[in-house]
Structure 1
C-alpha cells in the first residue's frame, strides 16, 4: 500500500514536467526509501557532503546559514519540492548550510550513486533534473522580485499564509532576515 502511495506521489511530481514512464518510476522507487523526521531533526550539517536527493512528501525543510554567529534562513522546502543540495560532480565540497526539518516531515530519498546508475539506463532523468534546477532558479527569482515589490506588512502576511506550519516555530529573527527586513521592523509590522 505504502509503495503504491509513493509511486503515485512520485508520478504526480514528475508529471508536472512530463509524464514519466512506469519503468523509470519503478527503478527510482526500488532504490529509494521513505524516511520520517521528527521536528528539529537535521538532514545535513554545514560542512558535511550531501550524498542524496530528497523529495519532501509532507512537512517542511529549511536551510540555515550561519554568518558571524547568527543564523539566517536561506531557503524553505515544502511538499513536492526536491532538495538538491549535493556536492558538484566536478568538485566535492561541504555544505554551507544546515538543512533542518522544523516540523515532523516525511521524505522520499535516493542516494546520488543509485540515481546516477538509473540515469545511465533512463537518460530522460536528465530532463527532470534540469526541470528541478530550473524550478529552484525560478523560485529564487520570484522571491527576489517579491521582496523588492511588496511592502513589509504584505510580505509578513504572505509568509504567514504560505508557511503557517512553521510560522510560530521559527524565530522572528529568521523570518525577518528571510523577508529582508530588520527584526525591529518585522516585529512592528507583524
Structure 2
C-alpha cells in the first residue's frame, strides 16, 4: 500500500514537468524509502555531508543557519518540494545549515549513489534535475522580490497565512530573520 502511495505521489510531482516513464519511476522507487520524522527531528546537521535527495511528502522542513550564536531561518520546504541544499543535486558537499523538521513530516528519500546509478541507466532524469534546480532558483528570486516589494505588516501576515503549521513552532527571531527584519520590528508588526 505504501509503495502505491509513493508511486502516485512521485508520479504526480514529476508529471508537473513531464510525464515520467514507468521504468524510471520503478527504478527510483526501488531505491527509495519512505521515512517519518518527529517534530524537531534533524535531517542534516551543519558540517555533515549531504548524501541524499529528499522529497517532502507532508509536513515542513526548515534550514537554520547559525550566525552570531543565533539560528536564523534560511529556507522553508513544503510538501512536494525537494529538499535541495547544494549548488548541484549530484554533488556531495558539507552542509552550512541544519535542516530540521519543525513538525512531524514524511519524506521519500534516495541516496545520491543510487541516484548516480539510475542516472546512468535513465538519462531522462537530467531533465527533472534541471527543472528542480530552476524551480528552486525561481522560488529564491520570488522570495527576494517579495522581501523588497512588500511592507513589514503584509510580509508578517502572509508568512502567518502561508505557514500556519509552523508559525507557533518556530521562534520570533527565526521568523524575523526569514522576513529580513529585526526582532523588535517583527514583533511590532505581527
Which consecutive aligned stretches of 4+ in structure 1 deviate over 2 angstroms post-superposition? 85-93
1:106 alignment partner, SS class = strand
Contact persistence 1:60–1:105 (CA under 8 A): yes
TM-score of the pair, normalised by structure 2: 0.96
Q: Which runs of 5+ in 1 are unaligned?
A: none
Q: Distance in 2 between matches of 1:92 and 1:132?
A: 17
Residue 89 of structure 1 and its aligned partner are, at CA, apart by 8.7
Residues 181 and 88 of structure 1: CA distance in aligned 2, closer, same or farther (over 3 Å)? same
Show the 5 A alignment for 1:24-63. 24-63=24-63
User: Is residue 2:182 matched to residue 1:182?
Assistant: yes
Q: SS of the counterpart of 1:56?
A: strand
Q: 2: distance between equivalents of 1:138 and 1:128?
A: 15
Aligned length: 190
Measure how far apart 1:177 and its partner are.
0.7
Aligned to 2:170: 170
Asked if structure 2 preserves the Cα contact closer than 8 Å seen for 1:59 and 1:103, the reply is yes
- Look up the match of 1:152: 152
Q: 1:2 to 1:31 in 2, by over 3 A?
A: same
Aligned match of 2:4: 4
